[in-house]
Structure 1
């Protein structure tokens, strides 16, 4: 039995979501033709498959870290403002329904010599419970201290959740989400042993240029330790 999940970022419109999922499906098929487990992260979507059941469980490895190499002027104040923002977003995402656990928001960052707006985005796979979503994002927030402290932007990406923040860069689309698409019907015949769960969350926006900022591909084989990579934007 093969379990699959495709999750689009909660603020992308339908065409971009479909394009990202289709592209990631092709890439994983090319890069991981014989692997029983694989995960691919793109800027707008994530695709994961495994011969082991993972729905309803929290996975934090393998992980991907990215950061903006520009520094903030006041690290202590920035970290405090960022923590308050992400804590609020964590609560909103965790309380989302079984088809959408996603939240965005912003807060002011002001010091004696600098001011700006911090934008944040958090998302969990919707199969997680509220508590597991919150726990996953807490873990991701704690990773900021290891990878991204003092930088104007950063991302922590787990199989079960992810977060991103940027100073003075409104990278997400502030629109009202449409109802998520329903999973497709189960296939029959020779593919009857395949379980496919497609979770796609989209919103009505118009985006003319697709810019894939990063692609992190991690392969996981049975009885092998997870592979971690650290990359910068």
Structure 2
């Protein structure tokens, strides 16, 4: 009937309008960097960029939502590009988002050769250097708003727990698969907290995990209080993490389920006339729908107006952003430095893997800690050291120069410390002669300064949990440097004690309350430092004093009888 056709047409119009509004990509953030490396529109690089953007757009309807390609034969005009669509969107939505990003790329970053452009449903990136299969966390940005209120008292803690869980699920995806996950948590007052995490599928699970941890860390600068950010997105080149109090993704991974409107009941006599009741049926739902639609549009516009780009602190300084990027080394650089990991360059072996000495092209000597592929403990230690040591700077801590995650390899690159570890001198009858009393005192004091920095002076308050002679490296002047932070744990401020069911460390250096009950604190390191000091003074290991008949050890030997 005409009345029902009219209703269907009206509803269909708004349904299509609603779909179009939902699929319409929204710009979030962009970063154009390396401004000393620029190009002009009519240059070869400019032409190649246009070809690249066209190629990315043409391939943007892929099921996997990811594509990378290269245009140009030789540098400096060769250009690398890729796009990543959000894991839950359809190929059509992906295509529209990439097309919008490509269309606006040259106006957003008109002269820079390197750029990352984020929309709500995709990310587009290009560079004059290879960016494929390499995890990068800089440059990046955090976008947030606070237009949704929550009365949840533990909101910040719930956010922290939820984004950690969703990041872990995303990183578990196998190489080449869509590395994304969604997760929800119920709050008080019938509210739901939504979260989303995703990595580019060309990086390993370990690299994805590291990237997502970096993304989550950036939330702490903007989102420590619920009044500041009830919705936020941490956007990095290789990954992103988002959360909010309103749904912003499709739980069914792009398959939008919408029920077809059921026919309205008719009381028409069949003579083609529209009754007053039918008119009410038309006007009331349509009017109500228009009110809801207007409210929805107002909320969207208000939210976009309040969305604030939050620059990471170190992005304000372009050189500092480059420094962060330089933390990651490629495999070819490490292979060249270590002579392809030759046996002649191997300087140590442990349960985690091997350590090699290397020399970079600029002449700098390095120590490369290469983790065994079969060592699960090594993978955890690797992640821990990258997250912690990169943020620590002190003359009595070994300095992390960078890391490499490529071809399923995991490596840490440290400054090379020529005199190896303290135990090589302390427990060797010949080398022990080099440790005169001033040198021993310098080692004791330097180690104490390093511990003091970890416990009180660093931005992160850290318990080392494995302090012993083999983890004290000595430089050319016999200055001590605390190393091996694989077992270290961050301790929250105002928390005097922490508990764990997994006891790690080396027996003989572990505090009794930690060994017996899993209780550790800064005092645990102080206990280990005390044992270490006694060994430095006495020149003998704690174990050398062990007597099975009396259960005596070094501490009993020096203690009161």
- TM-score, normalised by the number of residues in structure 1: 0.71
Measure how far apart 1:30 and its partner are: 3.3
Matching of residue 152 in structure 1 with residue 230 in structure 2: yes
Q: Which sections of structure 1, spanning at least 5 residues, go unmatched?
A: 177-202, 228-233
Q: Based on CA coordinates, which of the two structures has the bigger radius of gyration?
A: 2
CA distance in 1, matches of 2:250, 2:91: 13
Q: CA RMSD in A?
A: 2.8
Match of 1:61 in 2: 138
Give 1:22 shift. 1.2
Q: Indicate which of 147, 159, 183 corresponds to 1:82.
A: 159
Q: Displacement of 1:72 after TM fit?
A: 3.8
1:157-178 Cα deviation digits (max 9, x unpaired): 11111111112x11110114xx
1:108 counterpart = 2:186: yes
Q: Does residue 137 of structure 2 align to residue 137 of structure 1? A: no
Q: What is the aligned partner in structure 1 of residue 119 from structure 2?
A: 42
Correspondence 1:120 to 2:198: no
2:167 and 2:241 in contact (8 A); partners too? no
Tell me, yes or no, if structure 1 residue 51 matches structure 2 residue 128.
yes
- 3-state SS of paired residue (1:24): helix
Q: How does 1:14-25 map to 2 (within 5 A)?
A: 14-25=91-102
Match of 2:170 among 77, 93, 97: 93
Shift of residue 74, structure 1, vs aligned partner? 4.3
Deviation at 1:64, TM superposition (A): 1.7
1:215 & 1:44 partners in 2: Cα distance? 18
User: Is the 1:122–1:161 Cα contact (8 Å) retained in structure 2?
Assistant: yes
Q: Secondary structure at the match of 1:86?
A: helix
**Cα contact 2:143–2:308 (8 A) shared by 1:** no
Distance 2:109 2:160 in 1: 37
2:144/2:308 contact within 8 Å kept:
no
Give 1:11's aligned residue. Answer: 88
Q: Is the 8 A contact 2:115 2:125 kept in 1?
A: yes
Query: Does the C-alpha gap of structure 1 residues 206 and 8 become closer, same or farther in structure 2, counting only changes over 3 Å?
Result: farther
Q: Residue 164 of structure 1 is aligned with which of 221, 224, 242? A: 242
- Shift in alpha-carbon separation, 1:26–1:118, aligned structure 2, 3 A: same
Check conservation: 1:59, 1:158, Cα contact below 8 A.
Answer: yes
The structure with higher relative contact order (CA 8 Å, sep 6+) is 1
Counterpart of 1:73?
Answer: 151
Q: Between Structure 1 and Structure 2, which shows a larger proportion of helix residues?
A: 2
Q: Following the alignment from structure 2 to structure 1, what is the Cα–Cα distance between the partners of residues 230 and 243? A: 8
SS at structure 1 position matched to 2:166: helix
| Structure 1 segments (4+ residues) deviating >6 Å | none
Shift of 1:83: 2.1
- Cα distance in 1, alignment partners of residues 256 and 190 from structure 2: 29
How far residue 31 of structure 1 moved from its aligned partner, in angstroms, is 3.4
* Deviation of the 1:115 alpha carbon: 4.7
Q: Kindly indicate whether the alpha-carbon contact (under 8 Å) linking 2:162 and 2:183 is maintained by their aligned counterparts in 1.
A: yes
Listed one character per residue, the Cα deviations across residues 79-129 of structure 1 (whole Å, up to 9, x for unaligned) are: 22222221221121111131310001101123xxx4521100111111111
